[in-house]
Structure 1
Amino acid sequence: MSHEVPVSILTGFLGAGKTTLLRHLLAHPEMGQTAVVINEFGEVGLDHNLVEKSSEDTVLLSSGCLCCTVRGDLVKTLQSLSIRRIRGEVPEFERLVVETTGLADPAPILHTLMNDEILTRDYRLDGVISVVDAANGPDTLDTHRESVKQAAVADRLVLTKTDLVGARELDELEARLVALNPAAPRIGADHGRVEPGALFGAGLYDPATKSADVRRWLKAEAYADASADGTPHSGAHRHHHDDTHRHQHHQHDVNRHGDGIRAFSLGWDRPVDWDHLADWIEMLVTLYGGQILRLKGVVDVEGEEKPVVVHGVQHVFHPPARLPEWPADMDRRTRLVFIVKDLDPEMFDHTMQAFLDR
């Protein structure tokens, strides 16, 4: 089990209700031993009855939460927080939540957490929590590409203001979110209130079992389930290749929304040559890095008994991780899931086959 502190990114477009959600989370007793890094305390409107201790850039709440403001660069803020934790200047914390601004693209923060050598010693990415306004979400998704990206890369989607829309409008929004991101659970917030347990634990390591849970993290079946649905609202269709190609491909066509976002999976039924796979991924990143919003996968490497996990966001990839063994609830085969923008899944399919068949 990894001992680094799991980090969750809390994002959402302006007015989506992110601040209200965060305020309720900070007051929740289950948020004990959680550190929260926010832009400004004043934006959240902390309940002074909850504040136990306060300094220039740190507030300790009675719920156990430790709140810190971003002072300039996020890397320096997190480094400083780690040092102060080691010195005993701030309480121990077992989870970190980083709140972004409403206009922020979460990708640079993900890059930092995955690639900064100093931070990766103390922290590991757990997941992205994106807040979506049910009342204004469709218009926001139509007019602001940042909001589309926030939803597409999320591991958890929190729907706020659901009481302000009818059942049909809510169904249409959920269908759009499924097409953008079929693997992310959609969680309704009751006037900004969500149980913390529903938001965290989205990373590769299951906090309950203290071990890697590849199936829960990858959720490859979600892509297949969404495309196999066949209902008109999903905007998806399923495409099978001949079995002689040794792989299958599920595609979601959401161009009707103008998003240009596609979510799909690729599989390979026999062990792959790692160098060939690495060459293929390097080619994709070189040519299309900015358009590959997220890639997750578990790889059956030729000559290896242990599975290898890969995870990338745009042009930045976390170092591949070898797991102790293949999960008992997964058959031994390579599975890759993609969320991309303005790219044809067929290109990934054909080039993957070409590189691995070399």
Structure 2
Amino acid sequence: MSLSDPPKPDPRRPERIPLTVLTGFLGAGKTTLLNRWLKDPALSDTVVIVNEFGEIGLDHLLIETVDEDMVLLGAGCLCCTVRGDLISTLEDLLRQRDNGRIGPFRRVVIETTGLADPAPILHALIYHPYLVQRYRLQSVVTVVDAVHGAATLDAHPEAVRQVAVADRLVLTKADLGAGNATLLARLASLNPAAPVLPPETPAEELLGGLFGLDGKGADVRDWLGADALAADPPAGLDVNRHDASIRAVCLTSEAPVPRPAFEMFLDLLRSGHGPKILRLKGIVALADDPDRPLVVHGVQHVVHAPMALPAWPDPDHTSRLVVILSELDPAFVHRLWDAFLGRPRLDAPDAAALTDNPLAIPGG
């Protein structure tokens, strides 16, 4: 990947369609939450993609069958099934939209199976050269069951990853969960950047991201959760419970970042440690164009071509990059970032050693 020429808006190309991934383990309550969303008028003209149509109870919302894989929902939403490749499904939706066979939907929600590791799905959404021109990943919402959530996290690594990559966590059955405080502490340890919200939260608040449908930017801190990452970890938490390897780190720079240094940092991180990068997102001011920050998304060894915003969405022009790590020491990532920015750290080895041989550091 190179940031030398980030894609520029093409007035002939339609605005990219915001896309949300809804995930969560089996029985967490994704079906109930999705049905709640679909009753919200704010979600009219939305396409919902589910892995198997039979998994979600939408019968009372159906109006008519569009074709064998699509149904029109009462809220003006369209629902389709994935019978194979998600990429093919998303491409087919665009073809039908462009050909006028279905209406010009404004948003897509992908509901994953409960056993899905979300990383490959996010990888597909930011990697495919055509899809990234037409869709933009807006948010990842993960549903957690307050009753069985702790046991699920103990037993299933997929559930841990679902929590770790989320932008927002929705806690269901909270009135039935006796150990909510312990579960909340564990969620905060896994993903301090993601707020934990009740299922009654308005759909627009759960689905939103850095970019609103009307073109207005949301607060960057809310999108990144950088303030939460800077807070102290919850006290009294037993971290030795199958997920101690998942860590989040927030990298910042008040000064604009030199473009070559940023490119080299990302290239070294993804090429040497790609499988350990569960998710990366951020907003970065480059030294050669600090007033038009870049929005960056990445999963594992793939970093999506960044998008330049016309202006900063909030008054704080600090570059912020959030990285969710698996089996990788956050201190190493901090040292690598500081080395490329030329910032010495008292607790770091020689910066030249990091840049000369960053792959040789144990645990990093």
- Does the pair score TM above 0.5? yes
1:6 aligns with: 18
1:285 aligns with: 270
**Does the alignment pair 1:232 with 2:235?**
yes
1:100 aligns with: 112
1:163 aligns with: 175
TM-score of the two chains, using structure 2 as the length reference: 0.83
Residue of 264, 269, 292 corresponding to 2:249 = 264
1:69 aligns with: 81
1:172 aligns with: 182
Cα displacement (A) at 1:319: 0.9
Residue of 188, 198, 209 corresponding to 2:205 = 198
Q: Tell me: CA distance 1:15–1:275, structure 2 relative to 1, closer, same or farther (3 Å).
A: same
Letter in 1 for 2:301: H
What SS is found at the alignment partner of 2:114?
coil
2:362 aligns with: none
1:309 aligns with: 295
**Does the alignment pair 1:318 with 2:318?**
no
**Does the alignment pair 1:56 with 2:68?**
yes
Contact in 1 for aligned 2:22/2:142 (Cα 8 Å): yes
Cα displacement (A) at 1:130: 0.7
> Distance in 1 between the 2:37 and 2:256 partners?
44
Contact in 2 for aligned 1:261/1:342 (Cα 8 Å): yes
1:214 aligns with: 220
Matches within 5 A, 1:22-41: 22-41=34-53
> Distance in 2 between the 1:201 and 1:324 partners?
19
**Does the alignment pair 1:19 with 2:3?**
no
1:185 aligns with: 195
Residue of 137, 141, 144 corresponding to 1:129 = 141
Structure 1: gaps of 5 or more residues = 236-253
Alignment size in residue pairs: 328
Letter in 2 for 1:117: P
1:92-135 per-position Cα deviation (integer Å, ceiling 9, x unaligned)? 31111111111111111111111212212221111111111111
Cα displacement (A) at 1:137: 0.5
Matches within 5 A, 1:111-126: 111-126=123-138
Deviates more, 1:39-48 or 1:339-348: 39-48
What SS is found at the alignment partner of 1:132?
strand
What SS is found at the alignment partner of 1:199?
helix
Cα displacement (A) at 1:209: 5.0
- Higher RCO by CA contacts (8 Å cutoff, separation 6 or greater): 2
Contact in 2 for aligned 1:11/1:106 (Cα 8 Å): yes
What SS is found at the alignment partner of 1:124?
strand
Cα displacement (A) at 1:149: 0.3
1:50-85 per-position Cα deviation (integer Å, ceiling 9, x unaligned)? 221113111112211110111321111111111112
Q: Tell me: CA distance 1:231–1:27, structure 2 relative to 1, closer, same or farther (3 Å).
A: closer
> Distance in 2 between the 1:302 and 1:195 partners?
38
Structure 2: gaps of 5 or more residues = 1-8, 343-351, 353-364
**Does the alignment pair 1:295 with 2:280?**
yes
Letter in 1 for 2:220: V
2:335 aligns with: 350
Contact in 1 for aligned 2:279/2:300 (Cα 8 Å): yes
> Distance in 1 between the 2:234 and 2:130 partners?
47
Contact in 1 for aligned 2:259/2:288 (Cα 8 Å): no
What SS is found at the alignment partner of 1:293?
strand
Deviates more, 1:64-73 or 1:261-270: 261-270
1:246 aligns with: none
> Distance in 2 between the 1:154 and 1:147 partners?
11
Contact in 1 for aligned 2:256/2:287 (Cα 8 Å): yes
What SS is found at the alignment partner of 2:170?
strand
Contact in 2 for aligned 1:291/1:314 (Cα 8 Å): yes
Residue of 160, 164, 167 corresponding to 1:152 = 164
Cα displacement (A) at 1:329: 1.9
Residue of 95, 102, 111 corresponding to 1:90 = 102
Letter in 1 for 2:86: L
Letter in 1 for 2:93: L
> Distance in 2 between the 1:67 and 1:215 partners?
32
Letter in 2 for 1:282: D
Q: Tell me: CA distance 1:344–1:84, structure 2 relative to 1, closer, same or farther (3 Å).
A: same
Deviates more, 1:2-11 or 1:269-278: 269-278
Aligned CA RMSD, in angstroms, stands at 2.2
1:202-259 per-position Cα deviation (integer Å, ceiling 9, x unaligned)? 2x213355347533322311211x32xx7525x5xxxxxxxxxxxxxxxxxx743331
Percent sequence identity over aligned pairs:
49
TM-score of the two chains, using structure 1 as the length reference: 0.85
